[in-house]
Amino acid sequence: MTIEIIGTGRSIPPRRVSNQELADRIDTSDEWIRSHTGIGNRHIAEEGVAASDLGADAAREALLCAIDRGLVTEKTPEELALTVDLIVLSSATQDFFSHPATSCIVQHLLGAKNAAAMDITVACSGFIYGLETAAAMLKADFRRKRALVIGTEVLSRITNWDDRSNCILFGDGAGAVLIEKNDTSNQNAGQTGLLRTILGSDGSGWEYLILRRGGSRNPWKKGEVVEEVPAIAMNGQAVYNFAVGVITETLARIMKEENIALEDLALVIPHQANARIIQAAAKRLKIPEEKFYLNMEEYANTSSASIPIALDELNRSGKLKKGDLIITVGFGGGLTYGGNLIRW
């Protein structure tokens, strides 16, 4: 039985905000942001555009991708959407607090009437967790065949644009993949698709990346005057250290346990938080930096969308070849982390 990625898609808001544009408003500079993070730009969603809008657009692109490549018999995204059994969506910026799940709104926007829909909230590790969740649920029931895995974020809505240590990091966007289960008795075919996933968490760091207001621990109170938009609060140094540690460990474990030599690895696709985090992990692992695909220069950190956006860029540009061995790796609020080993 294999779980293959048969379509990828992304949705990037057209409005592009450069470091210089931020530096015109707050006390920062293009030089500081680039040298400390590798970020050059970010894209910001227009007012009124929510996570479900970007998520549905990215998912539609993933459906179209599978059709265009002749990997399905359906001829339109609408027709193909009807064959989707499950939508797993990750977002730290869901359309609504608590419910409805943003995945349900995406299901409606796509007309994916036969799909179950669920959200997961593991922040930036969301795509990695989502892929494993969807794959496991397809494998669990022979009737389920296809799933959409979506990461979608409008982080600009929960960013404090006056906090220079924080607001320079984030951007908006969505990425999606369409996965398909194939039952096969062919031994060789059994070695493609999603091969292995590592997932983990360290709840002792729950305060390091947090949106403090609105939940049952700290609810809004009647009559309360809100002076500031609720924004991401972060202990940057603690998250940085955690990130370098878990990226290093996760990659080392996957490569050791799955017997992967460096020359067999085509690419690592990390969560696009900070180029320095990746450089530090690469150095510890003695993996050349060129093996890591980085696009934070253009999109900044789009949380759970960053890995599927990167996958879509690589897929469409032809940089991923059939048979390539790739590893996704990431970390996020919770704290959470993980990695997927995929043979393309």
Q: Which residues bind ligand UT7 (CB under 6 A)?
A: 28, 32-33, 36-37, 124, 164-165, 168, 234, 236-237, 239-240, 243, 273-274, 301, 303, 332
CB of 232 to ligand UT7, least distance (A): 8
Residues 6+ apart with CB under 8 A from 322: 344
The single-letter DSSP state of residue 170 is B
Q: Which two tokens stand for residue 107?
A: 């299901």
Q: CA nearest 21: which of 39, 9, 36, 35?
A: 39
CB-nearer residue toward ligand UT7: 91 or 301:
301
CB of 343 to ligand UT7, least distance (A): 27
CB-nearer residue toward ligand UT7: 71 or 233:
233
The single-letter DSSP state of residue 124 is G
99 catalytically annotated? no
Indicate which residue of 124, 167, 315, 340 is catalytic.
124
DSSP for 145-166, written as a single string? -EEEEEEEEEGGGG--TT-HHH
CB of 121 to ligand UT7, least distance (A): 14
Within 10 angstroms of residue 225's Cβ, the number of other Cβ atoms is 4
CB-nearer residue toward ligand UT7: 36 or 284:
36
Indicate which residue of 41, 301, 315, 340 is catalytic.
301
271 catalytically annotated? yes
CB-nearer residue toward ligand UT7: 83 or 235:
235
CB of 330 to ligand UT7, least distance (A): 8
Cα–Cα distance for residue pair 58/252, rounded to 1 Å: 31
Residue with the closest Cβ to ligand UT7? 236
124 catalytically annotated? yes
Indicate which residue of 19, 271, 274, 340 is catalytic.
271
User: 3-state secondary structure string, 177-207?
Assistant: EEEEEECCCCCCHHHCEEEEEEEEECHHHCC
- Which residues does the annotation mark as catalytic? 124, 271, 301
